[in-house]
Amino acid sequence: MGNMYFGPNHGQINIIQNNVQGYRRSPRRNSHPILTGIGILFAIGLLIKFWWVVLTVLAIWIGVKAFRNWQHRQALAEQERARIAARADVQNQAFLAGDPYGIYGDPQNPQGL
């Protein structure tokens, strides 16, 4: 065949030339801008036509988020109550054993701060 030149890859597949024409093409250029505009206008039209559905979904989403936030705050408050009760039990046991920790609490923090 003579002096055939296959390029720098010598017959390997070039990743840049990935389509049939052999041109380098951006993967985002597959969609047509006019069709994209029509799709956006169609979506806006659906939002306007079914605004009540959008508001209902939004209200449900906000309600679920608020309920989960409330549950989280309740769990934190329960943990705090359990921590205080456990510390009170330890101090009560120390008081019954005659330890001053049972009366005065933590000597490193006398004001309870």
Contacts of 47 (CB under 8 A, 6+ apart): 54
Of the two residues 20 and 95, the one the predictor is more confident about is 95
Contact 24, 17 (CB under 8 A): yes
SS3 content of the chain, % helix, strand, coil (to 5): 65, 0, 35
- The model's pLDDT over 31-84, given as tens digits with 9 standing for 90+, comes to 688 989 999 999 999 999 999 999 999 999 999 999 999 999 999 999 999 999
C-alpha angle 85/89/92, rounded to 5°? 135
Quote the radius of gyration of the chain (alpha carbons, Å): 35
Give 22-74 as a DSSP string: -----GGGGS-HHHHHHHHHHHHHHHHHTHHHHHHHHHHHHHHHHHHHHHHHH
Give me the pLDDT at residue 60, please: 98
